[in-house]
């Protein structure tokens, strides 16, 4: 087995290879003057089980295209198998045709990866794990929630209330609560299909004088998290932290969340950002070592 850290996941790919005790096959990469990517494998991949690590956070279209190029290259060069480790899976939120005529983007992306020879995908806290089993490549969806909650425990948040956003995501808060053990709850969210505007239910939470960690899979514009922080703060919570697996933090999302009253934001290195404190490398290395 050899690990190829893609241009978007150089450090994470190296860390995964080190923990899984696998050889790294470095790439040469450059951009042509017009912006196109050129990638070259520097090791022979023939007959190898190849693991390509490439996150697809913004610039997601470029990162995806590089992933297609690398996978297809490994296929052409006769790799034995190709596993794509995609810590943040772009387009996973477009997991159905919400309105007639819309693209079912996650399906299209997985179909393209299958065409490029990918036999298996490993991702982390994908937006809708249920849909993954219906797609054309086997996908293993790992959870980084335990790693995030363990980080908070080490920082003295034992007994904090774990909150998740959206009823469907309550499993996330329940998983965090196994570590933090301060109870868990959720706040229902509703997104307008046309405008994208999110509204949160007004809910009384057991937050008074408590430390609260609000978990979400993704923080993108920050709009959802800001509303949740404000709600919890109004209910006299003590310290309020925003935790997420994928800190996309578009524009000034980080500053806006902190201005809304959050004491801090913690994310994982599925996406590189100033808050990517928790590494998912041990999680992915373990999955590779299990051989799944
Ligand atoms: C939505 O279903 C996700 O779980 C996140 O809550 C959402 O992607 C966050 O987006 P934003 O930060 O733009 O509100």
The CATH number assigned to the domain holding 208 equals 3.40.50.2020
Given ligand 1 and candidates 126, 201, 218, which is best to mutate, with the most ligand atoms within 8 Å of its CB? 218
User: Is residue 138 domain-shared with residue 88, that is, in the same domain?
Assistant: yes
Backbone angles phi, psi at 217, to 5 degrees: -70, -45
Query: Would you state the torsion angle of the CA atoms of residues 115, 121, 126, 132, taken in this order, to the nearest 10 degrees?
Result: 60
Q: Which letter, b or e, does each residue of 202-235 get, where b requires 16 or more Cβ atoms within 10 Å of its Cβ?
A: eeebebeebbbbbbbbbbbbbbbbbbbbebbbeb
User: Ligand 1 centroid vs 87 CA: distance in angstroms?
Assistant: 17
User: Is residue 120 domain-shared with residue 164, that is, in the same domain?
Assistant: no
User: Is residue 225 domain-shared with residue 127, that is, in the same domain?
Assistant: no
Given ligand 1 and candidates 57, 188, 224, 256, which is best to mutate, with the most ligand atoms within 8 Å of its CB? 224
User: Is residue 138 domain-shared with residue 242, that is, in the same domain?
Assistant: no
C-beta separation of 219 from 247 below 8 A: yes
pLDDT confidence of residue 119? 97
Identify whether 245 is part of a domain.
yes
C-beta separation of 250 from 58 below 8 A: yes
User: Is residue 62 domain-shared with residue 181, that is, in the same domain?
Assistant: no
C-beta separation of 51 from 87 below 8 A: no
- Which pLDDT tens digits describe the chain residue by residue (292 residues)? 999 999 999 999 999 999 999 999 999 999 999 999 999 999 999 999 999 999 999 999 999 999 999 999 999 999 999 999 999 999 999 999 988 999 999 999 999 999 999 999 999 999 888 898 899 999 999 999 999 999 999 999 999 999 999 888 899 999 999 999 999 999 998 888 788 788 888 889 999 999 999 999 999 999 999 999 999 999 999 999 999 999 999 999 999 999 999 999 999 999 999 999 999 999 999 999 988 5
User: Ligand 1 centroid vs 157 CA: distance in angstroms?
Assistant: 24
* C-beta atoms surrounding 93 within 10 Å: 15
User: Is residue 158 domain-shared with residue 138, that is, in the same domain?
Assistant: no
How many domains is the chain built from? 2
User: Is residue 175 domain-shared with residue 110, that is, in the same domain?
Assistant: no
Residues 6+ apart with CB under 8 A from 168: none
Q: Say what the pTM is.
A: 0.95
Identify whether 274 is part of a domain.
no
Identify whether 73 is part of a domain.
yes
Identify whether 94 is part of a domain.
yes
What CA–CA distance (Å, rounded) separates 97 from 190? 17
Residue 168 belongs to domain spanning? 145-269
pLDDT confidence of residue 125? 96
User: Is residue 286 domain-shared with residue 246, that is, in the same domain?
Assistant: no
User: Is residue 170 domain-shared with residue 228, that is, in the same domain?
Assistant: yes
Strands (E), 120-167: 120-124, 139-142, 161-165
226 to 147, 185, 275: CA distances (angstroms): 23, 17, 16
User: Is residue 66 domain-shared with residue 181, that is, in the same domain?
Assistant: no
What CA–CA distance (Å, rounded) separates 121 from 188? 30
The length of the chain in residues reads: 292
pLDDT confidence of residue 292? 53
User: Is residue 14 domain-shared with residue 139, that is, in the same domain?
Assistant: yes
What residue has token string 């065409």? Answer: 115
Identify whether 236 is part of a domain.
yes
User: Ligand 1 centroid vs 191 CA: distance in angstroms?
Assistant: 9
User: Is residue 213 domain-shared with residue 137, that is, in the same domain?
Assistant: no
User: Ligand 1 centroid vs 90 CA: distance in angstroms?
Assistant: 13
Identify whether 275 is part of a domain.
no
What CA–CA distance (Å, rounded) separates 75 from 71? 6
* Omega prior to 275 cis, within 30 of 0: no
Identify whether 209 is part of a domain.
yes
What CA–CA distance (Å, rounded) separates 226 from 220? 11
Identify whether 252 is part of a domain.
yes
C-beta separation of 146 from 121 below 8 A: no
């Amino acid at each position: 087995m050899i690990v190829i850290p893609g241009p978007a996941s150089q450090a994470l790919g190296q860390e995964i290879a080190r923990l899984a005790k696998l050889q790294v096959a470095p790439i040469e990469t450059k951009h042509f003057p017009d912006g196109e990517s050129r990638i070259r494998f520097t090791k022979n991949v023939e007959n190898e089980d190849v693991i390509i690590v490439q996150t697809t956070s913004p610039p997601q279209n470029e990162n995806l295209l590089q992933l297609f190029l690398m996978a297809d290259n490994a296929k052409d060069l006769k790799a034995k198998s190709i596993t794509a480790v995609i810590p943040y899976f772009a387009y996973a939120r477009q997991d159905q045709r919400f309105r007639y005529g819309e693209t079912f983007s996650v399906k299209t992306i997985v179909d393209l990866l299958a065409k490029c020879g990918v036999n298996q995908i490993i991702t982390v806290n994908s937006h809708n794990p249920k849909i993954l089993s219906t797609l054309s490549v086997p996908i293993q969806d790992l959870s980084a929630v335990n790693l995030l909650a363990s980080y908070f425990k080490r920082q003295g948040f034992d007994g904090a209330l774990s909150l998740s956003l959206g009823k469907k995501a309550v499993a996330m808060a329940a998983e965090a609560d196994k570590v933090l053990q301060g109870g868990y709850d959720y706040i229902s969210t509703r997104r307008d299909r046309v405008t994208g505007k999110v509204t949160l239910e007004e809910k009384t939470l057991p937050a008074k004088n408590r430390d609260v960690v609000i978990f979400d899979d993704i923080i993108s514009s920050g709009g959802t998290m800001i509303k949740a922080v404000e709600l919890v703060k109004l209910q006299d919570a003590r310290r309020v932290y925003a935790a997420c697996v994928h800190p996309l933090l578009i524009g000034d999302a980080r500053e806006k969340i902190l201005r809304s009253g959050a004491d801090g934001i913690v994310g994982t290195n599925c996406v590189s950002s100033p808050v990517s404190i928790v590494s998912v490398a041990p999680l992915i290395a373990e999955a590779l070592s299990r051989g799944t």
